[in-house]
Amino acid sequence: MLKYRGNIKDQWIDFKYWGLNWLSILGLVATNPYKVVIALFKYPWIYDLLKTNNLVKRYNEGRNGTALLLSNINIYYVIRGTVRQLKTIVYGSKDTFLENCMIPTEIYQAMGLKVFVAELPAALLPMEDQHTCDKYMDLIENNGLPGDTCSYPRITAGVFAAGEIPRDVKGLISNNLPCEAGMASHGYYEDNLGVPTYRLDVPYNFKEEDALNLFVEDMRGLIAFLEKNTGRSMNWDKLREVLTRYNQMNEIELERWEMAASDTPPLANENIWISHFWNYNLEPGNKDSIEWYNEMHKHLKKAYDRKEPALKNLRFRVVLWNPPTFAYAHFWNWLEQCWGVACLNDMESFGHFEDMFIDTTSNETMLKGLAKKWCNTTMSRHTRGPVENYLPDLWHMFERFRADFILVAGHIGCRSSSAMSGLMKEEAQKRGIPICIFDYELMDSRVCSHQGIRDQINNFMVNVMKAAPLNKSLLVIDDDSEW
């Protein structure tokens, strides 16, 4: 049930988006109820997505004003995007490509192709309900996959092994992102699917011109593969449109960074990374993405002009390193309410800051710009390339957003970032930067419970930051079995 927020305007926002969310979901059913019913049997994880409005509730506990509005806008657009994704499999998947979550989707958009991101269930389900993916992880571990690999591809492999990812697809497109586990998991799908497959290989040392050119060649290979397997041609004008919208998103992104660096940052916590995660990784340059960004920006600018910060009690500014806590989606709300902490930027959102814009003057420049973008995308830039990208970006972010400390989500399944933890601590110490590394597992809250995460933060805030909680009753909450 919707809780009264203390004023009519906020209450209306809550109600409006609650309704819009349901309408979007029902929109999927209304088009072809029969196929949706069949799909619910084939892909039962879709049921769990119905918990979305509860997620909104958890995100927005105690929030008002612009922060509440932005959070609602974010989830609403995520639902619309999810529905778009589901349509590619619910109404039949024979002409759909299964893909990895970090492929240059601009190319599909330009060619008008249907794609389904294999990692979609893994990305969304643990946010809706922390335990909903336990069964998939158990299944794949029983099949022989070590339980210590990153839970993101592990859940995906589990959903695949359970037969709940479409197999009658047109082809498989994957790459070596976001990490080796992700890359290797797609080998498992390729082995089982037996469909035409293309694998993009993002070079290690992509700052080198030769390496970048190699990736351009690889993308040409992808385009040729798609043309061969679909009979469609690459529409370069359409690509230009998509990239123009992407450039507009970049302009907004830079303005958002400026606002975040101010004394009254209007955007914080999951509202930053959710919009970035979806719009930069899954659907960059999509019409909905630019609409989403514009809609958020309109409200952000107003709040910025009014000097309305994202948190009523903003006490600490932080930057987040490593992926956010998917299995504890509303962690951010707790951080706000209990400690007054605002995360102003994070690794998901902080991509490359050199040459962000793509030159659309020719097909060549577009391909090269795309190559650079995807070599520098989240995790490609930070957690698999040269070390020079990993730590210097962090110190840059710390200064740029005038943070009080760095929050590091120490995902124990992430080899690449775990392997840098010692250097990070030593360097932070040399620079006099407080750093809070909390251990957790990205999507498996059985490894580190919600309270386990909170305890680590509580200890840091009390002992290092010498802070007192805003609300003592939130220090320990029994929510380990809740959604």
Partner 1 sequence: MKKLNEMELFESLLDNPENELVGKAISQGRIALGYNCYLVPEPLLYMGKAFPVRLRAPGAGSTDLATHYMSPFICSYARSILEAALDGTFDFLGGLVFAASCTHITRGCQHFEQLRINADKEGFFTYTIDAPRKLYEPGFLFLAKDLRKAAQEMSKHYGIDISDESLTKSIREHNAFNSLLRKLSDLRKADKPKISGTEFHTVMVAAKTAPRDMLIDPLKKLIAAAEKRDGIKDYRARIMVMGSIFDNPRFTELIEEQGGLVVADRYCFGSLPGLEEIREDGDPYENLARHYLGTCECPRMMEKLKDREQSLRKWAKEFKADGIIFETMKFCDLWGYEALSDVPKLRDSDMPVVRIEREYAFTGEGQLRTRAQAFIELIESKRLSKTLAQ
CB of residue 418 to partner 1, shortest distance in Å: 4
Segment contacting partner 1 by CB under 8 A, of 28-36, 185-193, 264-272, 287-295: 185-193
**Applying CB under 8 A, which of residues 18, 22, 91, 188 lies at the interface with partner 1?**
188
User: Is 191 a residue that touches partner 1 (CB under 8 A)?
Assistant: yes
Among 11, 20, 92, 218, binds partner 1 (CB under 8 A): 218
Q: Give least dist CB 327 to partner 1, A.
A: 17
Nearest distance in Å: CB 1, partner 1: 42
Closest to partner 1 by CB, 208 or 364? 208
x/- map, 236-265, partner 1, by CB under 8 A: ------------------------------
Residue 195 as a binder of partner 1 (CB under 8 A): the answer is no
Residue 19 engages partner 1 in binding (rule: CB under 8 A):
no
CB of 207 to partner 1, least distance (A): 11
Q: Please report whether residue 430 would count as binding partner 1 according to CB under 8 A.
A: no
Residue of 138, 168, 217, 305 interacting with partner 1 (CB under 8 A): 217
Asked if residues 174 and 103 have their Cβ atoms less than 8 Å apart, the reply is: yes
Total interface residues for partner 1 by CB under 8 A: 48
Q: Is 196 near partner 1 (CB under 8 A)?
A: no
180: its two tokens: 């080796």
Residue 163 as a binder of partner 1 (CB under 8 A): the answer is no
From candidates 262, 418, 451, 456, binder to partner 1 by CB under 8 A: 418
What is the largest distance, in Å, between two alpha-carbon atoms of the chain? 64
To 10 degrees, the CA torsion angle through 329, 332, 337, 339? 140
Task: Evaluate whether 156 touches 180 at the Cβ level (below 8 Å).
Answer: no
211 binds partner 1 (CB under 8 A): yes
Q: Which is nearer to partner 1, 218 or 308 (CB)?
A: 218
CB of 22 to partner 1, least distance (A): 39
Q: Is 229 in the site for partner 1 (CB under 8 A)?
A: no
Distance, CA of 422 to CA of 295 (rounded, Å): 41
* Residue in 25, 145, 344, 347 binding partner 1, rule: CB under 8 A: 145
Output 148 or 241, the one with its CB closest to partner 1: 148
Which phi and psi (to 5°) does residue 79 adopt?
-65, -45
Identify which range of 32-40, 171-179, 349-357, 457-465 contacts partner 1 by CB under 8 A.
171-179
Q: Given the structure tokens 């609409």, which residue do they identify?
A: 291
Beta carbon of residue 161, minimum distance to partner 1 (angstroms, whole number) = 9
Distance in Å, CB of 164 to partner 1, minimum: 17
Of 325, 293, 362, 276, give the one whose Cα is nearest residue 127: 325
Cβ nearer to partner 1, comparing 153 with 285: 153
Q: What is the 3 state secondary structure string of the chain?
A: CCCCCCCHHHHHHHHHHHHHHHHHHHHHHHHCHHHHHHHHHHCHHHHHHHHHHHHHHHHCCCCCHHHHHHHHHHHHHHHHHHHHHHHHHHCCCCCEEEECCCCCHHHHHHHCCEEEECCHHHHHHHHHCCCCCHHHHHHHHHCCCCCCCCHHHHHHHHHHHCCCCCCCCCEEEEECCCCHHHHHHHHHHHHHHCCCEEEECCCCCCCCHHHHHHHHHHHHHHHHHHHHHHCCCCCHHHHHHHHHHHHHHHHHHHHHHHHHCCCCCCCCCHHHHHHHHHHHHHCCCCHHHHHHHHHHHHHHHHHHHCCCCCCCCCCEEEEEECCCCHHHCCHHHHHHHHHCEEEEEECCCCCCCCCCCCCCCCHHHHHHHHHHHHHCCCCCCCCCCCHHHHHHHHHHHHHHCCCCEEEEEEECCCHHHHCCHHHHHHHHHHHCCCEEEEEECCCCCCCCCHHHHHHHHHHHHHHCCCCCCCCHHHCCCCCCCCC
Q: Which of 36, 53, 62, 180 binds partner 1 (CB under 8 A)?
A: 180
Q: Using the rule CB under 8 A, which residue among 58, 87, 199, 276 binds partner 1?
A: 199
Least distance from partner 1 to the Cβ atom of residue 402, Å: 27
Map residues 93-132 to x or -, x wherever contact with partner 1 holds by CB under 8 A. ----------------------------------------
Q: Does 419 bind partner 1 (CB under 8 A)?
A: yes
Member of 210, 364, 399, 480 binding partner 1 (CB under 8 A): 210
Q: Rounded to whole angstroms, how far apart are CA atoms 120 and 83?
A: 11
List the interface residues with partner 1, window 358-387 (CB under 8 A): 384, 386-387
Footprint of partner 1 (CB under 8 A): 140, 143-146, 148-150, 157, 174, 176, 179-181, 183-188, 190-191, 197, 199, 201, 203-205, 208, 210-211, 214, 217-218, 221, 384, 386-387, 412-413, 415-416, 418-423
